[in-house]
């Protein structure tokens, strides 16, 4: 009888796992019953559901947002990945409103975001392989420590390094700091390339600015000759009266795309600060013919700007006729951009 009484007490009011399990079941049942018995769950949260549908349209049809009004389309595409932050916020609002309609609607932008960017959440790097490491860095004309920045970039082990936003006063400093690692180098205007392998056919590339912010050189690497383009496209600005001002950047991108399309060598690498992301339609003249190493062989979004809190990948390594093996960002230097690097295979390029 004592044993029977003990069993009865434990099952009904004891402190063991049975009681904890029954509490959870009661709470779950209470919530479920509350939602089942409340017919308003389909009528509540319509505003949240509408916002979820609007977010879905913006992300899924971003290419149709016009640039005629303050380049709104390019502005949206620059920060497109960040729109995913609204999904958990809408989910929370749907739960607080206890709205089945809103919960179902929130699934739509979640699916679209995963379709657009889910592939960037996985590590696509091959791990080993490749025969050439390249890096690019906008060093910032106002960099307080150009020597330290040069040493940091050289320490990455890159075989070819491109630097942008070189001030005339700092060029000699970078040349001195990189001389022991890179035997060959060339500077055109405010951009330059440093290489462990011989350079030839070095020339500026006209990107319709009136001064030189892009160049081209042939690198005679062990895996074969490679055309290396270095470019610093004009900056863009967000102004209340004008929106996202990028006309000069867009004109330069078109000119750069034409130069790369006319390149006679099959293997091409573009290194530089393009002041735009791979989602920005304004860069189509370039992105339509080249692959992003971050998208093909990176891990995560690889945001590079601003260095203190990276929000966008505007520093790019793009390839044509070359197979990306891995891609990554380097630690912060004295610049307001992060350096980015990639390992490529010249022999198996497609």
- CATH number of the domain residue 248 falls in: 3.60.10.10
- Residues 295 and 190 both lie in one domain: yes
In this structure, is residue 230 part of a structural domain? yes
Instruction: Please name the helix (run of DSSP H) or strand (run of DSSP E) that holds residue 238, with its range, or none.
Output: strand 237-239
26: in domain = no
Cα–Cα distances in Å, from 194 out to 191, 231, 298, 320? Answer: 10, 14, 24, 20
Domain boundary among 72, 92, 121: 121
Q: Based on the domain organization, do 207 and 244 belong to the same domain?
A: yes
Residues of the chain with pLDDT under 50: 1-3, 5-13, 31, 241-243
Same domain, 53 and 77: yes
Spacing of C-alpha 82 from chain mean position: 11
Pair 140, 281 in one domain: yes
- Whether 14 is in a domain gets the answer no
Question: Does residue 20 lie within any of the structural domains?
Answer: no
Strand 340-345, strand 132-138: pairing: antiparallel
98 found inside a domain: yes
In this prediction, residue 334 carries a pLDDT of: 96
Residue 35: the pLDDT is 57
What's the pLDDT at 7? 44
Last residue of a domain, one of 93, 121, 149: 121
Q: Which ranges in 191-283 belong to alpha helices (H)? A: 247-261
Residues in the chain, total:
350
Same domain, 264 and 137: yes
Terminal alpha carbon distance of the chain: 81
Q: What is the pLDDT of residue 232?
A: 98
What's the number of domains the chain is made of?
Answer: 2
- CB 340, CB 127: distance < 8 Å: no
* C-alpha–C-alpha distance, residues 201 and 199, integer Å: 7
89 and 177 belong to one structural domain: no
**Do 213 and 337 belong together in one domain?**
yes
Shared-domain flag, residues 204 and 248: yes
What range defines the domain where residue 75 resides? 38-121
Helix ranges (H only) for the chain are 2-13, 17-37, 46-60, 72-78, 86-97, 100-117, 146-154, 171-178, 247-261, 284-287, 293-297
Q: Is 32 left (phi over 0), alpha (psi -120 to 50) or beta?
A: alpha
Rg (CA), the chain: 27
CB 93 within 8 A of CB 52: no
Q: Token pair of 249, please?
A: 């950047």
Measured distance CA(259)–CA(262) in Å, rounded = 5
- Please report whether residue 9 resides in a domain: no
How far apart, in whole angstroms, are the C-alpha atoms of residue 278 and residue 288?
Answer: 10
Let me know whether 194 and 225 are in one domain: yes
Tell me, yes or no, whether 88 and 221 share the same domain.
Answer: no
- Other residues' Cβ atoms within 10 Å of the Cβ of residue 8: 11
For residues 159 and 266, what is the distance between their CA atoms, to the nearest angstrom?
20
- Residue 81 CA to residue 304 CA, distance in Å, equals 14
Rounded Cα distance between 207 and 187, Å, is 16
Point out the domain boundary residue: 121, 149, 168: 121
State the Cα–Cα distance between residues 142 and 336, nearest whole angstrom.
Answer: 9
Q: Do 293 and 194 share a domain, yes or no?
A: yes
Asked, for residue 33, whether it belongs to a domain, the answer is no
Is 225 among the domain residues? yes
* CB-based burial label for 66 (10 Å; 0-12, 13-18, 19+): exposed
Closest to 274 measured CA to CA, from 331, 308, 307, 317:
317
**Do 112 and 147 have their domain in common?**
no
């Amino acid at each position: 009888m004592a044993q029977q009484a003990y069993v009865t007490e434990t099952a009904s009011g004891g402190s063991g796992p049975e009681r904890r399990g029954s509490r959870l079941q009661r709470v779950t049942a209470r919530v479920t019953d509350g939602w089942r018995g409340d017919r308003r769950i389909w009528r509540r949260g319509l505003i949240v559901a509408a916002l979820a549908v609007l977010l879905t349209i913006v992300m899924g049809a971003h290419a149709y947002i016009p640039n005629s009004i303050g380049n709104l389309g390019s502005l949206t595409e620059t920060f497109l990945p960040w729109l995913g932050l609204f999904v958990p916020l809408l989910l929370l609002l749907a739960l607080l409103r206890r709205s089945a309609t809103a919960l179902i609607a929130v699934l739509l932008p979640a699916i679209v975001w995963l379709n657009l960017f889910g592939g960037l959440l996985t590590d696509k790097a091959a791990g080993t392989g490749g025969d050439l490491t390249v890096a690019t860095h906008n060093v910032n004309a106002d960099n307080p420590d150009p020597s330290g920045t040069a040493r940091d970039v050289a320490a990455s082990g890159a075989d070819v390094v491109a630097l942008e936003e070189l001030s005339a006063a700092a060029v000699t400093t970078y040349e001195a700091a990189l001389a022991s690692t890179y035997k060959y180098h060339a500077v055109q205007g405010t951009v330059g390339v440093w290489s462990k392998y011989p350079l030839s056919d070095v020339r500026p590339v006209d990107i319709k600015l009136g001064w030189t912010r892009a160049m081209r050189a042939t690198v005679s690497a062990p895996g074969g000759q490679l055309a290396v383009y270095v470019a610093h496209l004009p900056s863009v600005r967000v102004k209340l009266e004008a929106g996202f001002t990028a006309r000069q950047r867009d004109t330069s991108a078109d000119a750069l795309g034409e130069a790369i399309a006319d390149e006679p060598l099959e293997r091409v690498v573009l290194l530089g600060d393009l002041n735009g992301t791979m989602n920005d339609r304004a860069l189509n003249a370039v992105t339509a013919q080249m692959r992003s190493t971050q998208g093909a062989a990176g891990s995560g979004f690889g945001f590079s700007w601003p260095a203190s809190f990276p929000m966008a990948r505007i520093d790019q390594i793009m390839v044509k006729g070359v197979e990306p093996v891995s891609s990554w960002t380097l630690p912060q230097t004295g610049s307001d951009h992060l350096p980015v690097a990639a390992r490529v295979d010249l022999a198996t390029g497609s």
